[in-house]
A and B are shown apart, each in its own frame.
Chain A
Amino acid sequence: MIAAQTVSTMSFFFASLALLCWAAVVLIGTGALLGRFVSRPIPLVESLGADIRRVALPLAWLIAAVTMLGSLYYSRIQHYIPCELCWYQRICIYPFAVILGIAAWRRDAGVRVYAVPVLAIGAMVAAYHTWVQAYPPVDGTSFCTADAPCTLRYVWEFGFVSLPFMALSACCCMIVLLLIARPAPRTATTSESS
C-alpha cells in the first residue's frame, strides 16, 4: 500500500515536472519569437531572456539528470521493465546527464551541435511511443509481448501523461534550452567578481 502510494506520488511529481517542461518550451519559444519579430525590444523580456540564456546549459543538464534518475527509479526501484522503445529513449537521454554537466562546467554552448540531433531522435521515438500508449494499435496484429510490451501504461497521470510523454517533454525542453544557451564566459565572471 505504501509502495503504491509512493509510486503514485513520484508519478504525480514527475508528470508535473513534464508539464512544467512544456510550459518552459512555450515561454522560451514565445520569448524567442518576440525577440526576433518585435522591433522595439521589451526591456524586461530582454533582460529575463539574457538571464535564461545564461542558465540554459546547466538547466538542460539538470533536466537530463532528473530524467535519468526518474527512469532509474521506475526500473530499478519499482521494477518496471523497459520496453524496446524505452531503451532507445534512454540511449538518447542518459549520456547527456554527464555530457551536459561537463559542457555546463566548461560553459561550452557548442555542445548543442552534438546534443540536439541525438535529443531530436529521442524526441521522435518518445513521440511515437507516446502515441502508441495513448492509442494502442487496433489492427488485427496488435498484441502485447509477454515480457515488455510497448503499449503498457505503467504511468498515466492527468489522463494523458505517460512515461514516454515525460521523456518527450524532457527532450523538447533540453533542445530548446540548448538552442538558446549563451553561457557567460568564465573570464567575464572573473572580471565581475574582481
Chain B
Amino acid sequence: MSNQPSSNGPSSTRWIWIGIAVVVVVVGVLAFVVTRSDGSGGGSATPNGDGATPGVTVVPVGKVAVGAIVVTGTQLPEIATSGTDPAVGQVIPTIEGQTFDGTALSIGPTGEPTIIMVVAHWCPHCQREVPFLQSWLTANGAPEGVRLVALATSNDSGKPNYPAGQWLVREKWTIPTMVDDKASDGAQALGVTGFPYFIVVDAEGKVIERTSGELTTTQWEALIAAAKSGSAQPTA
C-alpha cells in the first residue's frame, strides 16, 4: 500500500523539501546570531583564559603561548610498548627555555632528583591530572629533596583550552613550568609519546623511570619514592 504514490505526491513531497530547506536556513541564521552575539564562541574549541585568578603561582600571567627552547644532549628514546624502558639509566638532555611569564627555566641534570611532568593543554587527562596533582601538593606540600618541574607542550591555538599558561593559572598550578616551542622539540627530546607524561631522574640526571597516563595517588607517591630512592618503586 505504502509503495503506491499518493495522489498528490509530487506537490506534497515538494513541501517536505521546502520545509527542510527552511529549517536548515533558520538553524544557520540562528547559529550565526547566537555565536556572533554572545562573543563566547559557543561551546566549541578554545575556551578563553579570562578570569584567571591571581595567586601563588609561577605562571602569573601565562602570556607566553609558545616558547623558544634550546636542547643539548642525547634525545631519549620512546618508551617501549613492552619490556624495559630503554631510556632507564640514560642521562636526560638539557632543555633551556622559559616559563609562561618569561622567566628562564632549565630541565636537565641539576644535581638533585627530579620529576618532570609533560602536559598538553588540550588533553582531557592532563586537564584532570593537573588539578589532582595541585590538590595533592596543596595538601602535602612539595616533596622534600625532589625537584618538580613541568613542560607544557603540544601548544596549538586550534585546540581547546589554549593557551596553556592561562589554563595553569586558573588551576593555581605551582610547579615551575616551561613552555615548549612550536615544534614541541622539548617533548621530543624527552621521548614523549602521550600525555600526561612523567620522567623520574636521579641527581645525576639519569632516568629512573618513565610513565604515561593519569596517575592515582599511590602511583604519584611511588614516583616520588623512586626519585628519593633512586630506583623504581612497585605500586601494588
A interface residues, Cβ below 8 angstroms from B: 4-5, 7-13, 16-17, 20, 47, 49-55, 59, 78-80, 136, 138-146, 149, 151-159, 182, 184-185, 188-189, 192-193
Contacts and interface: CB of A to CB of B under 8 A. Distances in A.
Contacts, number: 146
B154 A4 contact: no
Contacts of A158: 43
Nearest to B195: A144
A144 B120 contact: yes
Nearest to B212: A143
A78 B193 contact: no
A138 B44 contact: no
A92 to B, nearest CB: 23
Interface of B: 2-6, 9-10, 12-13, 16-17, 20, 23-24, 27-28, 30-32, 34-36, 41-46, 120, 122-126, 128, 154, 158-160, 184, 187, 192-197, 212-216, 219
Contact of B41 (A5, A140, A143, A152): A5
Contacts of B159: 152, 154
Contacts of A139: 214
Nearest to A46: B2
Contacts of B41: 4-5, 8
B42 A157 contact: yes
Contact of B158 (A11, A78, A138, A193): A78
Contact of B34 (A12, A49, A59, A154): A12
A8 B42 contact: yes
25 contacts: A8-B45, A11-B42, A12-B42, A13-B31, A49-B2, A50-B2, A50-B5, A51-B16, A54-B5, A54-B9, A142-B125, A142-B214, A143-B213, A144-B120, A144-B123, A146-B184, A146-B187, A146-B192, A146-B194, A149-B123, A152-B122, A155-B44, A182-B3, A192-B5, A193-B10
Contact of B123 (A10, A13, A151): A151
A52 B49 CA distance: 47
